[in-house]
């Protein structure tokens, strides 16, 4: 069985190999999701050592694995559209060459386009270790009989914690205070009533989208003492209420929330979901956070709303164009906190991504149903 570990500099091939090894060879208890250490690269796992005595535990009749590596350039180079798929890294030709006769590929960013499927007849399965398989042409995969799986929720804790961090940073102007102090300015005037920020305790916070990330954000906000509203037409209102969160319509949420955080998926329906008309519904001095996808939000009205104070602060991890251009209108707008699309970037996310996909490869090779199929119409994997 040839497997291509098409990793990158985040979900590295060695993490994928270690997770596959754990899943397919050793079958030992689940690997801890905590990363091996706070500093430096993870140590080589003993299970990758061919002389490791634990290898004897591998079932004699188990699949013989031949795992090869490919390292894609992300995040050292931004991801982007490649040959008809979105948010991909590397080139189609490099992937085709690396696949050779591989039957399975585990990847986060490789561009699985129609051309790649056409050129890789041996391929049977692509396990995508990210929340949505946007780098795979699913129609082409299905036409070629290739099963595709994905890894929903793999970075939900990381992204939720980052959203809360952005929210606090924007509400309390932490990055500005830090930058000013480092430039020798003691901004004690930020303590003035007009300058000081608000609290989450007692605030009404609106979550647009109540999926894996929105739910964790809600839990943290409730612990802070916030009243939490959620607008998600696909969430079960009873389940939302059971979490202590009030399900509401989007316009109602925008009118009532002093802090709004976006956590919806980007679809044709949610493109510019928050447009100028909807932004006008926000109460004076509201704080807006977007760590989901840039195109959920129409960016054009934002500089004006910040300058007039109608928006007190804006925190962004994602943008309509990534990275934003040099003449980006928000560069010199007041009270903007930014990060370069980092919400999901924790070591635990990388380990979890590798573990979820390795488990899917295990199911596929054993002929079991996939837990997260993206094209369930393709017959489940080969019988062992």
Ligand X SMILES: NC(=O)c1ccc[n+]([C@@H]2O[C@H](COP(=O)([O-])OP(=O)(O)OC[C@H]3O[C@@H](n4cnc5c(N)ncnc54)[C@H](O)[C@@H]3O)[C@@H](O)[C@H]2O)c1
Minimum CB separation of residue 164 from ligand X in Å reads 13
**Closest CB to ligand X: residue number:** 211
Rule CB under 6 A: is residue 165 a binding residue for ligand X? no
State how far the Cα of 131 lies from the Cα of 138, in Å rounded to an integer: 15
C-beta of 214 vs 303, nearer to ligand X: 214
Site for ligand X in 311-340 (CB under 6 A): 317-318
Tell me, what DSSP letter sits at residue 274?
Answer: B
Minimum distance, C-beta of residue 26 to ligand X, in the bound complex (Å): 30
Task: Kindly state whether residue 133 participates in binding ligand X, applying the rule CB under 6 A.
Answer: no
Site of tokens 């009749």: 61
- State the minimum distance, in angstroms, from the CB of residue 217 to ligand X: 9
Q: Point out the catalytic residue in the list 293, 299, 351, 363.
A: 293
| Angle in degrees, 0-180, between the axes of helices 13-20 and 347-365, rounded to the nearest 10 | 50
Least gap, CB of 9 to ligand X (angstroms): 15
Integer Rg of the chain from CA: 23
Which of the following is catalytic: 341, 351, 352, 372? 341
Catalytic residue among 180, 322, 347, 380: 322
d(Cα 383, Cα 364) in Å, to the nearest integer?
Answer: 8
By residue count, the chain amounts to 384
- Nearest to 162, CA basis, from 344, 323, 11, 314: 344
* Alpha carbons 202 and 205: distance in angstroms, whole number: 9
Establish if 374 lies at the interface with ligand X (CB under 6 A).
Answer: no
CB 74 within 8 A of CB 89: yes
Among 7, 63, 344, 362, binds ligand X (CB under 6 A): 344
Question: With binding defined as CB under 6 A, does residue 233 bind ligand X?
Answer: yes
Report if residue 264 touches ligand X, rule: CB under 6 A.
yes
The answer to whether residues 138 and 160 touch, using CB atoms and an 8 Å cutoff, is: no
**Nearest 5 degrees, angle CA 277-CA 280-CA 286?**
140
> Under the criterion CB under 6 A, does residue 87 sit at the interface with ligand X?
no
Rounded Cα gap, residues 350 and 324, in angstroms: 26
Look up tokens 């924007």; give the residue: 170
- 322 included as an active-site residue: yes
CB closer to ligand X, 157 vs 303: 157
Q: By CB under 6 A, tell whether 214 contacts ligand X.
A: yes
Binding site residues, ligand X, CB under 6 A:
131, 153, 155-156, 159, 208-214, 231-235, 263-267, 269-270, 273, 291-293, 317-318, 341, 343-344
Q: Kindly list the catalytic residues.
A: 293, 322, 341
């Amino acid at each position: 069985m040839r497997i291509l570990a098409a990793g990158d500099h985040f979900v590295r091939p060695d993490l994928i190999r270690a997770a596959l090894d754990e899943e397919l060879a050793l079958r030992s208890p689940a690997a801890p999701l905590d990363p091996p250490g706070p500093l430096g690269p993870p140590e080589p796992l003993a299970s990758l050592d061919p002389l490791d005595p634990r290898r004897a535990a591998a079932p004699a009749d188990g699949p013989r694995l031949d795992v090869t590596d490919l390292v894609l350039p992300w995040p050292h180079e931004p991801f982007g559209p490649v040959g008809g798929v979105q948010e991909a890294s590397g080139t189609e030709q490099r992937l085709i060459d690396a696949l050779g006769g591989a039957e399975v590929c585990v990847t986060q960013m490789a561009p699985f386009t129609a051309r790649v499927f056409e050129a890789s007849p041996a391929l049977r399965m692509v396990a995508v270790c990210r929340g949505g398989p946007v780098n795979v042409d699913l129609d082409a995969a299905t036409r070629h009989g290739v099963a595709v799986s994905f890894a929903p929720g793999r970075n939900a804790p990381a992204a939720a914690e980052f959203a809360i961090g952005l929210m606090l940073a924007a509400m309390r102007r932490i990055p500005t205070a830090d930058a000013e102090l480092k430039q020798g300015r003691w901004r004690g005037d930020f303590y003035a009533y007009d300058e000081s920020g608000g609290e989450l305790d007692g605030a009404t916070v609106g979550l647009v989208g109540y999926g894996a990330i929105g739910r964790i954000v809600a839990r943290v906000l409730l612990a802070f003492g916030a009243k939490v509203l959620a607008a998600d037409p696909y969430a079960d209102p009873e389940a939302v209420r059971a979490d202590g969160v009030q399900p509401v319509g989007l316009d109602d949420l925008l009118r009532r929330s002093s802090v709004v955080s976006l956590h919806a998926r980007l679809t044709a329906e949610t493109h510019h979901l928050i447009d100028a008309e909807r932004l006008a519904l926000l109460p004076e001095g509201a704080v807006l956070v977007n760590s989901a996808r840039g195109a959920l939000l129409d960016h054009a009205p934002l500089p004006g709303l910040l300058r007039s104070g109608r928006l007190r602060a804006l925190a962004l991890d994602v943008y309509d164009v990534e990275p934003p251009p040099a003449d980006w209108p928000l560069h010199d707008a007041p009270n903007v906190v930014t990060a370069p699309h980092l919400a999901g970037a924790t070591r635990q996310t990388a380990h979890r991504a590798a573990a979820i996909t390795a488990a899917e490869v295990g199911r596929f090779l054993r002929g079991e149903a996939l837990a997260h199929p993206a094209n369930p119409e393709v017959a489940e994997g080969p019988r062992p």
